[in-house]
Amino acid sequence: MKICVLLFLSAATAFFGAKAMSQAPQAISKEQAVSIAEKDAGFLGTWVRACAGDGMWQVSAFSRSANPPVLYLIDAASGRLLYRNKNSDVPVSFIGNATTEQDETIIITDEGFKIRLDGLQRWPQKTVNKRVVVTGRLNSLEKQPAPPGDCVARLTFKGAKWKLAK
């Protein structure tokens, strides 16, 4: 009798545990990230790439037509569109907190993503952990991991200028 009860409880636990796990939010795939960007933009371009980085998908695209390069940032857990830039050749501005991670100068934006600043070795001491406004061309720098597979990307500001936020 005890064995039957134990087996029943084990089966019930496994069933309800599996049901609870299946209802947990799932990370979105690269294909889903591209689909989200395409739904927003229509035609993205001839060459489309989606790379993972900092908890989001960075979907970039360009074509030889008159369309400028585009960049989409999509939350990897929820699929929420965090940011779109339909012309990544044009400078943009973000407000956020100035910080340094692994000897990289970073702004953590109010939208919640990290952007590295090219050309700035470190923040001046009076700027660290302060709010700043950074303006520059936003790029997604991609690299292939050592074993071939999906690319990894990091957001960077090219030609960035910054000032303390008011």
Three-class secondary structure of residue 73 per DSSP: strand
Q: What is the chain's pLDDT, residue by residue, as a tens digit (166 residues)?
A: 544 433 343 444 443 343 333 333 458 898 999 889 888 877 776 788 888 888 889 998 877 765 678 888 999 999 999 999 888 888 999 999 999 888 889 999 988 889 999 888 889 999 999 999 999 998 888 876 656 667 888 899 988 999 999 8
Q: What is the pTM of this model?
A: 0.72
Where exactly are the structural domains of the chain? 30-164
The secondary structure element, H or E, covering residue 92 is strand 92-101
Q: What is the 3-state secondary structure (H, E, C) of 96-127?
A: EEEEEECCEEEEEECCCCEEEECCCCCCCCCC
Q: CB under 8 Å to 13, separation ≥6 — which residues?
A: none
